[in-house]
Amino acid sequence: MTKRPPSTVVSRLTAALSLPAGDHVCVGSTLSYVRHDPYAVLVGFSVPGSATDTVAVEWTFARELLTDGSQRATGDGDVKAWPSFTRTPRTMGLSLSSPGGLAVFHFPLAGVQDFLLQTYDVVPLGSESDFLDFDVELNALMSGAGGD
């Protein structure tokens, strides 16, 4: 009996959030990938919201952006990624921009690469369309039509 790869990959990494003064603060992060949404990666951050609370902030973007960003600078618009080979240990930068501001994180490059390798076991790179259920996606789009 062949062992089937899992349908979900979750990796917890500590990221360094760059602060305006040039300092960094460590932030817990979770990278998630699921087979039924084969093009997307979800990154969640646990950031201090107040003295007694934490607020989860989540971003979804293309797995391809994370793959490319672990090797070279990439991205347009709100999400940009790049490797930093001059830091020790090596990191991958991730810039997230929204109307509320800009956040720059640095992840351990080895952790990001390990996460990506696990996602390739779930859905091999280049075969994402084989794992999409176009009927489900079309129904989701149609049910959202005429919203606002």
Contact 32, 110 (CB under 8 A): no
pLDDT, one tens digit per residue, over 97-106 is 988 889 999 9
Q: Where are the domains of the chain?
A: 8-139
Contact 9, 32 (CB under 8 A): yes
**CATH class assigned to 8-139:** mainly beta
Residue 137's pLDDT band, with cuts at 50, 70 and 90, is: low
Q: pTM of the entire structure?
A: 0.80
Q: Is the predicted pLDDT of residue 29 greater than 50, yes or no?
A: yes
pLDDT, one tens digit per residue, over 37-69 is 899 999 999 866 655 556 678 999 999 999 999
**Cα–chain center distance at 25:** 19
Q: Is the predicted pLDDT of residue 21 greater than 80, yes or no?
A: yes
Question: To which residue do tokens 């089937």 refer?
Answer: 4
Cβ of 82: how many Cβ atoms within 10 Å? 18
Q: Distance between CA atoms of 128 and 114, rounded to whole angstroms?
A: 19
Q: Where are the beta strands (DSSP E) in 1-148?
A: 8-18, 24-34, 40-48, 54-62, 79-84, 91-98, 101-108
Q: Average pLDDT in the 13-42 region? A: 91
Could you tell me the two tokens for 73? 């600078």
- The percentage of residues in the chain with a pLDDT greater than 70, rounded to a whole number, is 78
